[in-house]
Chain A
Amino acid sequence: DGGITQSPKYLFRKEGQNVTLSCEQNLNHDAMYWYRQDPGQGLRLIYYSQIVNDFQKGDIAEGYSVSREKKESFPLTVTSAQKNPTAFYLCASSSSPLQYSNPNYGYTFGSGTRLTVV
């Protein structure tokens, strides 16, 4: 079955280190997104990409970087410049344009990665 795979599920990082979160989809979706969620809060957009080799900053891009070299993959790097990286990170994808006939209306989420700075 098609879906989005995020790995790892849990990640621990030492202060000052960069870390990369993986997001892979086999849905043939053009658009991919990274969201951050803090405890008791909603999701905030970090970066999104509508097409290979192109991406845009979201609302909280500082301290993060992404790449989109393949349609299936959209890795997120949390750099040492991100002052408070401990959070839950969710990756999502969607068709472009959105397919309203899809039961999920084109948006599919991964199961998330919990990042903790130790």
Chain B
Amino acid sequence: AQKITQTQPGMFVQEKEAVTLDCTYDTSDQSYGLFWYKQPSSGEMIFLIYQGSYDEQNATEGRYSLNFQKARKSANLVISASQLGDSAMYFCAMGLIYNQGGKLIFGQGTELSVKP
């Protein structure tokens, strides 16, 4: 069975510092994608970054980078230079691209609070 685990229910970080949000996954599929989403209090899901299972380089999108360690089945999100607006829930998700309808499997989320 496929599973996403986020072990940090809540995290605090000082403004302008970097923070790492942990994500481990479990799947026997070889072809999959890993996603990170931000969910502010409004509830919308904001796409942050994507990593494909065959991508050799870690994905980066502005202040977001994904530390992909395939052998350890981890896909941690690194946010550099935290801003007050980064305070939100963050979800790691896995998409099994070529079967199971492309559905996303989500972790429990990490609530990030940025302190001024």
Chain A residues close to B by CB (< 8 Å): 31, 33, 35, 40-45, 48, 50, 56, 58, 88, 90, 92, 94, 96-98, 100, 103-107, 109, 111-112, 114
Query: Top 7 closest A-B pairs, CB basis?
Result: A42-B106, A109-B45, A43-B106, A112-B43, A104-B47, A42-B108, A105-B50
Q: CB-defined interface of B85-113 with A at 8 Å, one 1/0 digit per residue?
A: 00000010101011001111111110100
Are A58 and B103 touching (Cβ within 8 A)? yes
B103 touching A33, Cβ below 8 Å: yes
For A109, the chain B residues whose CB sits under 8 A away are 44-45
- Determine the residue in chain B with the shortest Cβ distance to A49: B101
Q: Do residues A88 and B43 form an inter-chain contact, with CB atoms below 8 A?
A: yes
Q: Which residues of B are at the interface with A, using a C-beta cutoff of 8 A?
A: 4, 6, 9, 33, 35, 42-45, 47, 50, 52, 91, 93, 95, 97-98, 101-109, 111
CA gap between A56 and B97 in the complex, in Å: 16
Complex CA distance for A114 and B42, rounded to whole angstroms: 11
Min distance, Cβ B21 to any Cβ of chain A, angstroms: 13
**With A31-B101, A90-B45, A107-B47 given, is the CB distance from A43 to B91 under 8 Å?**
yes
Choose from B45, B91, B95 the contact partner of A98 (Cβ within 8 Å): B95
Q: A107 contacts which of B43, B104, B108 (Cβ < 8 Å)?
A: B104
A40-B109, A42-B108, A43-B91 given; A103·B101 CB < 8 A: no
Contact for B109 among A42, A97, A104, A114, CB less than 8 A: A42
Q: Are A98 and B43 in contact (CB under 8 A)?
A: no
Which residue of chain B is the closest to A33 with respect to CB atoms? Answer: B103
15 CB-based A-B contacts, threshold 8 Å: A35-B106, A40-B111, A42-B6, A42-B106, A42-B107, A43-B93, A43-B106, A45-B105, A48-B101, A48-B103, A50-B101, A96-B102, A104-B47, A105-B33, A107-B35
